[in-house]
Amino acid sequence: MNRLLRAIMVLVVLGSLVVAGVATLVINEIKSSADTTSTDVADFVIDPGDTAGQIATKLKDQGLIKQTLLFNLMVRERKVAGKLQAGQYQLEKSWTTGQIITALQKSRVEEKKLTVIPGSRIEEIAKVLVDAKLAPSTDAALATMKNADYFKKAHPLLKDIPAGQSLEGYLFPDTYQVVATAKITDVVDTMLKGFEDQYKTFDGQILVKGRSTHDIVTMASIIQREAASDAEMPHVAYILWNRLDPRYAAEVAGRLQADPTVQYAAGYDTATQTWWRKNIDQFIDINSPYNTRKNQGLPPGPIDSPALTALKAAARPGADRPDASPGDKDLYFVAKCGTNGTNYAATLQEFNKLQAEYLSCPNPR
């Protein structure tokens, strides 16, 4: 019995020494740094969505900590996993794991500002991302923006986009502040969220019947570039939807005849370095499904990113029109001479008269 008691006591003592030894090692690890002699400062990035485990791996790969397990245990013990902030940090290699964990809780997020102008097509938006240093190249940005299918699950309003099409029209034009380390997909998600937020402001007030969200966004993108001002958008929307109405097939044959769609089909003009050519005479008969001078109905998809005013006009054509009158069936519009206004006409004869007046104008806009 005495031998057994002595053996148990020896085991207890040895166990205590082991525990004490391990504790001492852990404490030493906590108090020590990955490189006690270094005076170097390392740039360290936490990307949005990074977990504590992913952060630990990055820290170890950069030689900022020695043990990922210890980092994870300390983060768990301190209950700060959700407080590690995305952003860019400058961490000293002489810092201990505890000091690094404390530093990563202090947000030092650098942000980038980007502005998407209403009426921009995705190639122009891609350049905005590159200029803001949020994409390495326009090709990289376009590769993401042309893959609408990738974003459909997270953004239900995209469900009507035909398979294989791009996000043209759905990247809401606005000024955004995004984390400097944001991935292209993060930036695109932000713009899609902007679109959803704005679309929901009128989603329950849509007047056009039998049209999908994709149809409305497509029409809005045309209105964005056709209307001379925001105030004219409801009237222009009314006219464009009229052109697709079977009741007026004899006059317009179901064709929108919208010049911006021809500009879109013609593509980039190297001479003027613009995606929106002023002279489209040679492209009137261009063979493209986007050419509404030739083809009936809406084009396959949007031609640019419409603002809220254009989206609402497409969804509520003719609404809030101070110039509306009973029996008004306008099918045409033409710019007024020397002003930013627009004339409207119900017949081709009226349109031709107004067009002749505009062409003879000494100061056409």
pLDDT digits (tens, 9 = 90+) for 174-203: 999 888 888 999 999 999 999 999 999 999
* Mean pLDDT across the chain: 86
- A 10 A CB-CB count for 348 gives 13
Q: Decide if 32-109 and 111-199 have a common fold.
A: yes
**Which amino acid does the sequence have at 76?**
R
Residue-level pLDDT at 18? 41
- Burial call 74-96: b when 16+ CB within 10 Å, e when fewer: bbeeeeeeeebbbbebebbbbbb
The first and second tokens of residue 342, run together, are 């627009």
- The span from the CA of 308 to the CA of 273, in Å, is 28
Confidence of residue 2 (pLDDT cuts 50, 70, 90): low
- Could you tell me the CA-to-CA distances from 156 to 32, 110, 235 in Å, in that order? 50, 31, 29
Assess contact for 80 and 51: CB atoms under 8 A: no
Spelled out in words, what is the top-level CATH class assigned to the domain 111-199?
A: alpha beta
Instruction: Answer for the pair 270, 191: CB distance below 8 angstroms, yes or no.
Output: no
Question: Rounded to an integer, what is the distance from CA 71 to the centroid of its chain?
Answer: 35
Superfamily of domain 32-109: Endolytic murein transglycosylase (3.30.1490.480)
Whether the per-residue pLDDT at 169 is higher than 70: the answer is yes
pLDDT at residue number 114: 93
> Distance between CA atoms of 66 and 318, rounded to whole angstroms?
67
Q: In the structure encoding, which two tokens stand for residue 3, read together? A: 């031998």
Sequence spans of domains, the chain: 32-109, 111-199, 206-227+240-317
Residues 229-249, mean pLDDT to the nearest whole number: 92
Indicate the pLDDT class of residue 11, thresholds 50, 70 and 90.
low
Q: Tell me the per-residue pLDDT of 248-292, one tens digit each, with 9 for 90 and over.
A: 888 889 999 999 999 999 999 999 999 999 889 999 999 999 999
pLDDT at 354 over 90: no
CA distance 318 to 320: 6
